[in-house]
């Protein structure tokens, strides 16, 4: 069974969104290695690490093609976005070495927190966004791990816009299909996924699972075990 199909995203930057269907059961955990302390805490592997890396390289190529030879400030949304941002920037650097196109980059960080357990809360906490004057007059690429309702992305966009950048684009590894979405969609998308709570690849549940390489669906017993 395959979990991809080809769609065209709203901005037409890619034209090959990888969409994971609602009925995709995921890969059996028995096919992969993962930390033993999470044995009973996961339902399945939704996206293996190797697939994440292949897709991230494709996104890096699209970004380089679209933004090459422009000074760029990459604004990483922490904490969940740090691994994706690191791998994306590294892929862009490697591709630039073998291309006539170069993309000068600086990287900065902001932390936005809106989840308690597996629920988005009305309160959005912003850490590290007081001095982002480096964005002024620059092209900005906001890097976000998961876009669900779009509330966090909206806050990041408003924060960046307050420093009067030349332009803003967004790269999101995951776009989650949720009924209460605000309609925000990244310019560059890795995967569109069902409305399931996912962990791994720096995505957490109450600070657990960041040490998991694959993107996995957390089990109900895992939610209860690490609930606060």
CATH number at residue 120: 3.40.50.2020
pLDDT score recorded for residue 198: 97
Distance of CA 131 to the CA centre of its chain: 23
The answer to the question of residue 21 being in a domain is no
The answer to the question of residue 158 being in a domain is yes
pLDDT score recorded for residue 116: 53
Work out the pLDDT band at 70, boundaries 50, 70, 90. confident
- Of 43-52, 65-74, 171-180, the poorest mean pLDDT is in 65-74
pLDDT score recorded for residue 131: 78
In tens, the pLDDT along 146-197 reads 999 888 888 889 999 999 999 999 999 999 999 988 888 899 999 999 999 9
The answer to the question of residue 14 being in a domain is no
Q: Are 112 and 155 in contact (CB under 8 A)?
A: yes
β-strand pairing of 139-147 with 119-127: unpaired
Phi, psi of 169 (to 5 degrees): -130, 165
Please give the residue range of the domain that contains residue 184. Answer: 48-215
The answer to the question of residue 168 being in a domain is yes
The answer to the question of residue 195 being in a domain is yes
The answer to the question of residue 81 being in a domain is yes
Q: How many domains does the chain have?
A: 1
Q: Are 178 and 153 in contact (CB under 8 A)?
A: no
Q: Are 86 and 126 in contact (CB under 8 A)?
A: no
The answer to the question of residue 155 being in a domain is yes
The answer to the question of residue 75 being in a domain is yes
Cα 172 to Cα 42, 93, 130, 195, distances in angstroms: 23, 19, 23, 16
């Amino acid at each position: 069974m395959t979990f991809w199909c080809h769609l065209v995203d709203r901005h037409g930057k890619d034209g090959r969104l990888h969409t994971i269907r609602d009925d995709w059961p995921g890969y059996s955990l028995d096919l992969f290695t993962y930390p033993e302390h999470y044995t009973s805490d996961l339902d399945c592997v939704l996206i293996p690490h190797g697939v994440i890396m292949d897709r991230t390289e494709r996104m890096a190529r699209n970004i380089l093609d679209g933004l090459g030879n422009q000074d760029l400030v990459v604004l990483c949304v922490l904490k969940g976005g740090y691994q994706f941002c690191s791998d994306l920037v590294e892929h862009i650097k490697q591709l630039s070495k073998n291309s006539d196109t170069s993309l000068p980059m600086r990287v900065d960080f902001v932390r936005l927190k809106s989840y308690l357990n597996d629920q988005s809360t009305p309160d959005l906490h912003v850490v590290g966004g007081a001095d982002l004057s480096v964005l002024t007059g620059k092209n900005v690429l906001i890097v976000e791990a998961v876009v669900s309702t779009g509330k966090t992305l909206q806050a990041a966009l408003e924060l960046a816009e307050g420093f009067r950048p030349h332009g803003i684009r967004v790269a999101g590894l995951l776009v989650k299909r949720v009924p209460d979405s605000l309609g925000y969609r990244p310019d560059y998308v890795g995967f569109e996924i069902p409305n399931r709570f996912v962990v791994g690849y720096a995505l957490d549940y109450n600070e657990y699972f960041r040490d998991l390489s694959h993107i996995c669906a957390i089990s109900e017993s895992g939610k209860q075990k690490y609930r606060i």
